[in-house]
Structure 1
């Protein structure tokens, strides 16, 4: 290289490698010698390093430099085009994926079968549909069939897993006393705030939600002779849910991340799941341990049918079905047979979907209610109830007091008036429970307890008149003043007769005209009117219900007040 040449321009700094302009020849020679010595030292050091990196037989551990291969490395064949699309419930999807992997061609790194883990309800809302579907309940196939879809099952379900109610062991004595759970116990625990939290998944998306709501309604119906109360008791749980749309997998992910049982009890709480999912979580050895069992008042199985859509690749679908062994299914925690005595979901999909839609569409709004209770003398009359007992109307009302008080959610504000006067000029009504939040106190007692006590000690006034119409007008006016956009505001009136016997008596036509004239579409106050006994003026009650967008109910049962409240609650919350 001449004195005027630049070093390789790829070097980081040219000035460091260029020769000084007036370097004498001797100095230059010394520089070259020094450079040669440096080169020899580097070569020697390199040789030592190379020997240190050599195997005992002298062969190098690795090449000192990455020389390009003389021939390309062999690669696995590309993935074949997907020929069979499979959708499976998340908990059984790994079993299906393993079976699909076993069907790979020799040397193939992936299968021509694509498996997706997806909740059953989501399959029905996406297109295109899979070729093979393994939902977590045959009920989903019936729902799809009602929509005109054709699915053919191949053999018996792959497995079964009963629904269980589960939660952290730290609170197991509350939701599972003596290791036993029940749907009605779950409702009571939530209603009485004995459980820190309750979660369920959307019944229109997941099987635990769909079958859980079905079993819950069956349990509450068996515990009550009144359909309205049974529905309301089921929705009482819905109103208390910490999360009404959480997916089961998310619950277990959250639990797995927790280290403290107390925190998990409040953050996650109690929830329905499948036995298989609970077992899989327990076997993973997480720090927060769970407890759970199948509800004694409503056992129901998740089953896993293998269904093939019309037009799907039949031969490949059959091969996949054959590759899913019973040992693999039971090894994953599923049962080989159905649970003896388990509830069978209704064959008609609509009977299953009706409660599910009501549950899913529930409106979480504040509930404001004013109870108007007839305290006139006619409530002392004797009647025969549905059970054949000869009792007074008043005694039937007293029997419903405790039940009625428990039906209101924590978001409720309420008040109660009695109407009936023994003298012509007396007040049409008296306030027995002041209006306010049910969680607050009234006269030194929790408002819920005071309501129950008042109804339980109810005594009609002998020979009192019935200022029904004036009381309804006053009650509607009172609640219209309290109406707000974020709350459902209603008046529930219970009476056994017609308006009369007081100075404020008016005709039905006059009453309905005044009621209609006071209506305000921006602040609706529907009237839920419950007519007690054969003498109740149902025509008047139906008129006031129609004028306000409410409902009229003919009643003769100890639970009729509670039934009226249930009707109001369901109407207000989208039921």
Structure 2
């Protein structure tokens, strides 16, 4: 972008994309204003004293036409979040002297992410969150602020009144309820803005994660649950202003409910819509489990015209801001944003990079006698490895989404001629039924009744080789296929025993980059052979997890799922 051009107001951070919508409208308004001003100037300048102005259809000869000189570049360039820009534009207009055609202040409505990514930088920046100033400082760009923010507006969860009971039971909204409604597919549609472009998206993602983390202390599982909401979005880069404009044009409550659904916005945007008297009524409010404020700091760049900047700030009155629907003080109880901008931008990048994939999982569960050994878990309990596996497995069963296909084998031979493994749950869709029960129900029942076989050997290596080969035949596009091994990590005691070197050689020989099948290897207890598990995970591009707590397994699977959903 040339240094003398403004950034596109819809430009996402960090990579530019073509603009639409708001930019075109702004350009059209500018053109109309200039045409109107030019027409008025022509009429005035083409009228002799005492002589009526010529009719528009009969302009004067070319020799008598005059053109107003172009306006000089403005002395102060201002970029403001779109929802507050009209108030600042009105304040800037008061600084012009009577009869003055050219303004010294140019105000443009620009999303904060576009300002952060673009150039040139404006003289004054009014983003919709101080978090953007912190992000700019991290990039080496310094903005100075004096005094408190101009205004505040909490984020709300909004939607058509006809579906209020689905996302706002009891007239109260909640990020956790919205996430659960998305997972259960109870809400017809959910839309959110791009968190790398807009404040509503950035703070919304942060608030969702904070709300879920309160009830889910395990970070891996909490992240997966947050991304479950991301996976159910009808539109992951929706602009609240565009959504509200669409609703304002709609005359059908039912159609609007299914086309637009639920979305976050600022309270100011919701209030302005509600005051517009539109056919489709919107309801909503600040979420009880993640109240977060959009604030509007007035920031100046080093070298900006100081006096003019001060005059503009003074012209932006509290009365004008509150009349536009903003709050004059921070919302009590709002979340304190982290000082480190990466704590906001990191999850935002993960959210933005998310891609929808289905999962295919083959569970390989160790049924050998060594799983009856006792261990002490992280809570200080004396339990068997089998007990830990039952508890971990029950947690993990809830992690698998509805779009998962799953199968389960037990491995552990009780006799010299026994098979290396036995199928307990046939491979197929988790929601599919066999023998009158869904696979999810079968999985939960099998794990809850799991009992290792005393004195049974452990054909770990052979089972992993067979499992990876079986899943390689299931690989298909836009699907993550993984093998999850639950064991104490020791191979031996059967006719299938082999050295680790031979196992790894055979495992490596079967690796096909076009059909990847990573192994997630979970070792139970302090005696687990983690080096062996780490090696098989490394060869296949998976990961190894030491499980000494029931949450460890679910957390490890969740982290693996998150990695699979992230674009490379």
Instruction: Report the TM range for the smaller structure's normalisation.
Output: 0.7 to 0.9
Q: Deviation string for 1:522-554 (max 9, x for gaps)?
A: 211111111111121101100101111111111
Match in the other structure for 1:339: 331
Match in the other structure for 2:361: 369
Q: Out of 65, 83, 86, which is 1:94 matched to?
A: 86
Higher mean alpha-carbon deviation, 290-299 vs 134-143, is at: 290-299
RMSD, aligned α-carbons: 2.7
Q: Which blocks of at least 5 consecutive residues in structure 2 are unaligned? A: 1-51
Q: Out of 423, 437, 442, which is 2:429 matched to?
A: 437
| Secondary structure, counterpart of 2:406 in structure 1 | strand
Q: Contact 1:88–1:133 at 8 Å: present in 2 too?
A: yes
Q: Out of 110, 117, 130, which is 2:109 matched to?
A: 117
Q: Out of 408, 417, 427, which is 2:419 matched to?
A: 427
| Secondary structure, counterpart of 1:432 in structure 2 | strand
Match in the other structure for 1:510: 502
Q: Out of 178, 181, 192, which is 1:189 matched to?
A: 181
CA distance in 2, matches of 1:136, 1:408: 37
Match in the other structure for 1:324: 316
Matches within 5 A, 1:37-76: none
- Alpha carbons of structure 1 residues 297 and 79: separation in structure 2 relative to 1, 3 Å: same
Q: Contact 1:77–1:109 at 8 Å: present in 2 too?
A: no
CA distance in 1, matches of 2:200, 2:328: 19
CA distance in 2, matches of 1:399, 1:90: 51
Matches within 5 A, 1:227-242: 227-242=219-234
- Alpha carbons of structure 1 residues 65 and 309: separation in structure 2 relative to 1, 3 Å: closer
| Secondary structure, counterpart of 1:124 in structure 2 | helix
Matches within 5 A, 1:524-563: 524-563=516-555
Q: Contact 2:54–2:60 at 8 Å: present in 1 too?
A: no
Match in the other structure for 1:103: 95
CA distance in 2, matches of 1:429, 1:253: 60
1:63 positional shift = 11
1:69 positional shift = 8.5
| Secondary structure, counterpart of 1:559 in structure 2 | helix
Match in the other structure for 2:408: 416
Q: Deviation string for 1:369-419 (max 9, x for gaps)?
A: 222222333334433332333333333333344542332334332222222
Q: Out of 306, 312, 325, which is 2:304 matched to?
A: 312
Is 1:459–2:488 an aligned residue pair?
Answer: no
Q: Deviation string for 1:479-498 (max 9, x for gaps)?
A: 11112343222111111241
CA distance in 2, matches of 1:74, 1:325: 40
Higher mean alpha-carbon deviation, 192-201 vs 105-114, is at: 105-114
Q: Contact 1:160–1:336 at 8 Å: present in 2 too?
A: yes
CA distance in 2, matches of 1:505, 1:270: 56
Match in the other structure for 1:136: 128
Higher mean alpha-carbon deviation, 359-368 vs 431-440, is at: 431-440
| Secondary structure, counterpart of 2:492 in structure 1 | coil
Q: Contact 1:161–1:302 at 8 Å: present in 2 too?
A: yes
Larger Rg: 1
Is 1:165–2:174 an aligned residue pair?
Answer: no
Match in the other structure for 1:245: 237
CA distance in 2, matches of 1:132, 1:319: 12
CA distance in 1, matches of 2:189, 2:450: 35
1:168 positional shift = 1.8
Q: Which blocks of at least 5 consecutive residues in structure 1 are unaligned? A: 1-60
